Chains A and B, each alone.
Chain A
Amino acid sequence: MKFSSKQWLDSLPDPQGLLEEVQRHGRKSLITLGLPTKSSEGWRLTDLDRLRALFDLPVYSGNQTQNSESDHFRNRNIWPSTSSKGFRLVVDSAHELIDSATVPEGFTFLTHEELSQVLGRTLHKCECNSEWAVEVNQASATKILALRINGRVPPLELIMPACPNEFSATRVLLILEEEADLELLQMVLGAGCSAQSHVLEIYLGNGASLRHGWVALGGGEASLLGHLTVEQEPESDYRLTTIHQGWSLCRVEPRLVQLHGQAYTSINGLQVTKGSEQAATHTYVRFDGPEGSLDQLNKSVAANRSHSIFNGSISVPRVAQKTNASQLSRNLLLSGNACIDTKPELEIVADDVKCQHGATVSQLQQDELFYMRSRGIKLQEATELLLEGYCREIVSLLPLDIARWDLLNYLLATFHE
């Protein structure tokens, strides 16, 4: 058997419930796939020892999450209250009956029959249904939150807390019907030595609109694998903002397809790393029709000996004439020992398109620092102001009154440690 963590697979509960078939498929695939290796381009830069260590953790066993920590991201007793207009759902392995939650008008849970028809479709469209990290999720996830959204609905906050010392997996599927309008904030909260795997599938019907925030905050030795997959019909508007901070190992892959073009997509990301952390964002956007638009900005800040990776893939096949896509990767190195790998990957076959990309890796701008110092602002404070400004550009795009979580100060505290 190629898979080196057979014990982990054997430790999983027997396939059962709604995801029984998916679990069987995932486990079988993992045995065939084995662990990723450096010879695979997509995993070349990943710290495989840390990846392997994911399987030292047992899958959720039913213990309640510890709530003794003072940090409001780790302790659910002191989570800030939900945005006044919105509502909150907690998605973790501990919630047995997620489809029994009360949801506002405009949200309906998918029936088992509906789910069996659509589950995995977006993964397939985004060409990642057989990806190793997806199969890990499919092998282990036992719960799924699946919602259909109609009309303009209240904002939704999904919290995905970690189970300390355990591996947890969640799966979410959202179908936004024609003209539906949603603001979604996902808070993925790691803790201690834990690992999480999340797979998200989103379908946006014609004219649907989704402003989507994904905030993943690690802590300790936590690890994260995430696949955010999105299908967009024409005239839909999808705006994703991602924040990654504090993971020993973090690999998140937003993958998106404009099914017939003529849609708008924006992806803005920020990853902050320190110590010996490694964070990777791999995005993939494909236009399967004409006149689609993409605005993408990925930022990173790497301190100490940390490693930040961005891989931005854009595919513009012949059918995607008049595509207008722009991708910018901006990276800030705070230490000579930190490492940044950034790679734009544009595959353009259509000949009447406007696609631009750029990547910068720099230290804090000396002219900006001097300008501030020449106004009496101390070097340390000037540095903090610059970092705050750098992070704010992305944080300010998050939906659902993110100030409730005091996220910006939390991110900036990273640099004081």
Chain B
Amino acid sequence: MIRSDSSLILEIHDLHARVEDQEILHGLNLKIREGEIHAIMGRNGSGKSTLAKVIAGHPSYIVTSGKVVFQGRNLLDLEPEERARSGVFLGFQYPVEIPGVSNLEFLRVATNARREHLGHEELDTFAFEDLVRDKLKVVQMDPAFLERSVNEGFSGGEKKRNEILQMALLEPMVSILDETDSGLDIDALRVVASGVNQLARPDNATLLITHYQRLLNEITPDFVHVMAAGRILRTGGSELALELEKSGYDWIDQASEMRD
């Protein structure tokens, strides 16, 4: 939802980042305002997932220059957990399995970390169970998954539902969903997309990273960005995704050749 008076939540300015010795992001710029849904598309290796991990603070990704400002604060000064507590959420492309750690306990600790930041009271086990059972409805998830270890033995679809469940519990200000649609069948995609739509509010924002129009059929973005070689090459409305679906990314090569 584009509103001219909405505040800026996330501003990325001339961001350069590398992993090991390879520079992946080459001066990326992006502004996201409250209420907006953005989609980033692009070929494999264009830097989409790197951008997500850099924003979330993955220690393997080194920012070499540039700024990421979240609600007026330099996000890059914060540890990953501080970013999450202050309202940045990364939905993982491949959610990690953590054997032996109860999903319910993990969700409770994470929820209380966010609540602490917001100045809310910590939820005890009973109060949290009430809350989580309510949030399960957002992604139509079986409560049995709460009793298992985090993501252990979950199918691809169950893992993605668990990601959106976490998003529902943490109530982030900005959610970056990295290929949330990968590995999902049509029904699961609809459930997950419906969850994301339910959680979109006028005061938060969503950044979808995806390869496919099928996700954008379910979640209509306000802006679609095309990434290539570590920067955003083109920005448009939701119609840009349809155009990409038809014409692919060959025009990127032509654009590069012309630039060279």
A361 within 8 A of B: no
User: Are the CB atoms of B100 and A377 closer together than 8 Å?
Assistant: no
Query: How many angstroms between the C-alpha atoms of A390 and B98 in the bound complex?
Result: 9
User: Are the CB atoms of B100 and A376 closer together than 8 Å?
Assistant: no
- Which residues of the other chain, A, contact B117 by a CB distance below 8 angstroms? 376
Most buried by B among A374, A382, A385, A390: A374
Interface string of A368-391 (1 = CB under 8 A from B): 101111111111011001101111
Given A371, A379, A389, which contacts B99 in the complex, CB threshold below 8 Å?
A389
Query: How many angstroms between the C-alpha atoms of A390 and B85 in the bound complex?
Result: 26
- Which residues of the other chain, A, contact B80 by a CB distance below 8 angstroms? 370, 373-374
Given A366, A378, A379, A386, which contacts B98 in the complex, CB threshold below 8 Å?
A386
Binds A, one of B40-48, B108-116, B223-231, B247-255: B108-116
- Which residues of the other chain, A, contact B83 by a CB distance below 8 angstroms? 374
Q: How far is the CB of B43 from chain A (nearest CB, A)?
A: 25
Query: How many angstroms between the C-alpha atoms of A157 and B166 in the bound complex?
Result: 42
A375/B98 contact (C-beta < 8 A), A370-B58, A389-B149 known: no
A343 within 8 A of B: no
- Which residues of the other chain, B, contact A388 by a CB distance below 8 angstroms? 100-101
- Which residues of the other chain, B, contact A370 by a CB distance below 8 angstroms? 58-59, 80, 96
A367 within 8 A of B: yes
Query: How many angstroms between the C-alpha atoms of A387 and B80 in the bound complex?
Result: 20
Nearest A residue (CB) for B114 = A376
User: Are the CB atoms of B59 and A378 closer together than 8 Å?
Assistant: no
Query: How many angstroms between the C-alpha atoms of A390 and B100 in the bound complex?
Result: 6
User: Are the CB atoms of A377 and B110 closer together than 8 Å?
Assistant: yes
User: Are the CB atoms of A374 and B100 closer together than 8 Å?
Assistant: no
A374/B101 contact (C-beta < 8 A), A366-B59, A368-B96, A385-B106 known: no
B212 within 8 A of A: no
Query: How many angstroms between the C-alpha atoms of A382 and B110 in the bound complex?
Result: 10
Most buried by B among A366, A367, A370, A392: A370
A372/B106 contact (C-beta < 8 A), A366-B59, A377-B113, A378-B113 known: yes
Q: How far is the CB of A367 from chain B (nearest CB, A)?
A: 5
A373/B84 contact (C-beta < 8 A), A366-B59, A378-B113 known: yes
Nearest B residue (CB) for A366 = B59
Interface string of B38-72 (1 = CB under 8 A from A): 00000000000000000011111000000000000
B27 within 8 A of A: no
B81 within 8 A of A: yes
Given A366, A375, A390, which contacts B84 in the complex, CB threshold below 8 Å?
A375
B145 within 8 A of A: no
Interface residues in B74-127 (C-beta closer than 8 Å to A): 79-81, 83-85, 89-90, 92, 95-96, 98-102, 105-106, 109-110, 113-114, 117
Q: How large is the interface on B (under 10, 10 to 19, 20 to 34, 35 or more residues)?
A: 20 to 34
User: Are the CB atoms of A374 and B90 closer together than 8 Å?
Assistant: yes
B170 within 8 A of A: yes
Q: How far is the CB of A49 from chain B (nearest CB, A)?
A: 36
Nearest A residue (CB) for B116 = A376
Q: How far is the CB of A411 from chain B (nearest CB, A)?
A: 13
Q: How far is the CB of B146 from chain A (nearest CB, A)?
A: 15
User: Are the CB atoms of B166 and A375 closer together than 8 Å?
Assistant: yes
Nearest A residue (CB) for B115 = A376
- Which residues of the other chain, A, contact B56 by a CB distance below 8 angstroms? 374
- Which residues of the other chain, A, contact B89 by a CB distance below 8 angstroms? 374
Q: How far is the CB of B148 from chain A (nearest CB, A)?
A: 12
- Which residues of the other chain, A, contact B96 by a CB distance below 8 angstroms? 365, 367-368, 370-371
Query: How many angstroms between the C-alpha atoms of A385 and B106 in the bound complex?
Result: 8
A393 within 8 A of B: yes
- Extra contacts, 14 of them, besides A373-B57, A374-B58 (Cβ < 8 A), are A365-B96, A371-B92, A372-B106, A373-B80, A375-B84, A376-B84, A376-B110, A376-B113, A379-B79, A385-B106, A386-B98, A389-B99, A389-B101, A389-B149
Closest 5 CB pairs of A and B: A389-B100, A376-B113, A375-B110, A376-B84, A389-B101
- Name 23 interchain pairs, CB-CB below 8 A, sorted by A: A371-B98, A372-B110, A373-B57, A373-B80, A373-B84, A374-B56, A374-B84, A375-B166, A376-B110, A376-B114, A377-B109, A378-B81, A378-B113, A385-B101, A385-B105, A386-B98, A389-B98, A389-B101, A389-B102, A390-B100, A391-B100, A392-B100, A393-B100
Chain A residues proximal to chain B, CB less than 8 Å: 365-368, 370-379, 381-382, 385-386, 388-393
